[in-house]
Amino acid sequence: MTARRAELADNLERVRARIAAACAAAGRDPAELTLVAVTKTYPAADVIHLAALGVQDIGENRDQEAAPKAAEVARAGVAVRWHFVGRLQRNKCRSVARYADLVHSVDSVRLAAALGRAAAQERDRPLEVLVQVSLDGAPGRGGAVADEVPAVARAVAAEPALRLRGVMAVAPLAWRPEDAFARLGEVAAQIRAEYPQAEVVSAGMSADLEAAVAAGATHLRIGSGLLGERPMLR
């Protein structure tokens, strides 16, 4: 085992122990949780290491980095599920539709329509989608405010090439994570009442995964807890 794979294995053991403890405290089964390793700024080699360690779900937030990384991993013969977790621009929809298995960040009716057209052109199976929720309505970070979420969900569900799977949010810095994820849970329940298949709740990162587990998250987006402190972006 290389030094980097050993480092990742140690980090993964710690993260899984945290998830197990959080599930025990919440009376949940760890099998209900999907760990998404967010590998932005890290090389394809780390994705390959993580896959060898049993991590099959990989998150990226910038298409210009994710597209070539996904291609490199595929050339290595490694199969993972790619999650696009960053803000998505309409002009990147066709590229993202080629490799992503689940897009976490659809936040407008126009984006849903653009992604639906792209998925119809680029894929032979539906693209799974989450509606990103802005819990505090702050501009610039992405997400639909709670009152807009049903319309975005309907727009996703109306696209034959998309499959609505649930909701995603990032806890605002000024909020207690417990309050943020409780609010997200309320929005998720509203969407599930109309779309029972929309059962995914993507919430929680390295610093607040325990609160997300307690609030019913199904997907945890873990970056620094697994991969270490990120290199500076240039």
Question: Per-residue pLDDT averaged across 189-204, rounded?
Answer: 98
Question: Per-residue pLDDT averaged across 142-171, rounded?
Answer: 97
Q: State the average pLDDT for the chain.
A: 96
Q: How many residues does the chain have?
A: 234
pLDDT on residue 203 = 98
Q: Is the pLDDT of residue 207 over 50?
A: yes
Phi-psi region of 21 (alpha: psi -120 to 50; beta: other; left: phi over 0): alpha
Q: How far apart are CA 105 and CA 168, in angstroms?
A: 7
pLDDT on residue 218 = 98
pLDDT on residue 140 = 73
124-133 pLDDT, tens per residue?
999 999 999 9
Alpha-carbon distances of 44 from 54, 59, 64, 90, 124, rounded to whole Å? 15, 12, 14, 25, 25
State the pLDDT confidence band at 231, using cuts at 50, 70 and 90. Answer: low
pLDDT on residue 1 = 74
Domain 3-227 CATH (choose: 2.30.30.230, 3.40.190.10, 3.40.50.620, 3.20.20.10) = 3.20.20.10
pLDDT on residue 138 = 82
* Token reading at 172: 């605002």
215-224 pLDDT, tens per residue?
999 999 999 9
User: What's the pTM value of the predicted model, to 2 decimals?
Assistant: 0.96
What are the residue ranges spanned by the domains of the chain? 3-227
| Sign of the dihedral through C-alpha 23, 165, 129, 172 | negative
Question: Per-residue pLDDT averaged across 159-183, rounded?
Answer: 97
Q: Is the pLDDT of residue 87 over 70?
A: yes
pLDDT on residue 234 = 43
Beta strands in the chain (DSSP E): 34-38, 57-60, 81-84, 102-106, 127-134, 144-145, 162-168, 200-202, 219-222
- The 3-state secondary structure of 159-200 reads CCCEEEEEEECCCCCCCCHHHHHHHHHHHHHHHHHHCCCCCE
Question: Per-residue pLDDT averaged across 64-83, rounded?
Answer: 98
State the pLDDT confidence band at 233, using cuts at 50, 70 and 90. Answer: very low
Q: Is the pLDDT of residue 141 over 80?
A: no
Q: Is the pLDDT of residue 10 over 80?
A: yes
